[in-house]
Amino acid sequence: MLPRAILKNVPQRYLHGCHKLGMTFEGNSMQHLGSEEDRMKNVFGGRIKGDPPRSSSRVVRGQTRKIAGILVPQKPPEPDNCCMSGCVNCVWEMYNEDLREWKDKRKEASQRLKGTDATWPADFEPPLKFLDLQNVPTKFKSAKIQIDKQRNRGTASLFPPREGSLPQSVINARQRHLRERQKAATSETGQPESDEGWDDVPVYIRVFAEFEGKRKEARLHGEHRI
């Protein structure tokens, strides 16, 4: 033990300049955060008492439908039981994989519908971005027309008309982008929609799910090399 006279000269640590506020940390004993079940529900979802279980998107994926010969799964529901513990098979990683499969199958089926008179089921999340107008259900036709108008309008209408000629580098870039869009439009697999299915999910969870998926793929490739 140091003598009391020496301890008086030792400067005390405070959070800021106020000498009345010491470095004291308090838990939740001074604040009412609900019952134990309410606090568990915030972490593990609404499965503690009486709520229907939703353990992962793969357990309650629903029925698939055959559209233009393609088995299209139902849109996967968001999981509500992530424990935030870094599980090997995280439910958000599984949801990300299911969502990618759902998008790919929808796009593949929409490509098969082109040139036919068949209509996408109105109650099965029609992909308006990829469907032709004749394949769109009646109640979604106005929304499809607006999407096509917005796509054709592009960003050219946002700027005043150019008086001089475009530089050659800009012309080359336009031609390259046009070829890339045409290649993506004719491809059946292509890149799926980027944000659909993640509208109400925090961005950090989506980034975490994509990162975990890429890390798992890299680990599997490394094991195959061995």
Can you spell out the DSSP letters for 141-176? Answer: HHHHHHHHHHHHHTTGGGSPPPSSPPPHHHHHHHHH
HEC string of 52-108 equals CCCCCCCCCCCCCEEECCEEECCCCCCCCCCCCCCCCCCHHHHHHHHHHHHHHHHHH
List pLDDT tens digits, range 189-221.
Answer: 444 455 677 766 777 777 888 887 788 788 777
Q: In the predicted model, is pLDDT for residue 145 greater than 70?
A: yes
Cut 0.75: pTM above it = no
Max avg pLDDT among 14-28, 39-53, 82-96, 156-170: 82-96
Where are the domains positioned within the chain?
Answer: 58-152
Q: How high does pLDDT run on average in the chain?
A: 74
H or E, element range at 33: none
Q: In the predicted model, is pLDDT for residue 4 greater than 60?
A: yes
Q: What is the pLDDT of residue 43?
A: 58
Q: What is the pLDDT of residue 81?
A: 75
Q: What are the tokens at 219?
A: 């680990």
Q: Identify which has the larger pLDDT, 161 or 28.
A: 161
State how far Cα 170 lies from the chain centre: 33
SS3 of 14, please?
Answer: strand
Conformation bin of residue 45: beta by default, left when phi > 0, alpha when psi is -120 to 50: left
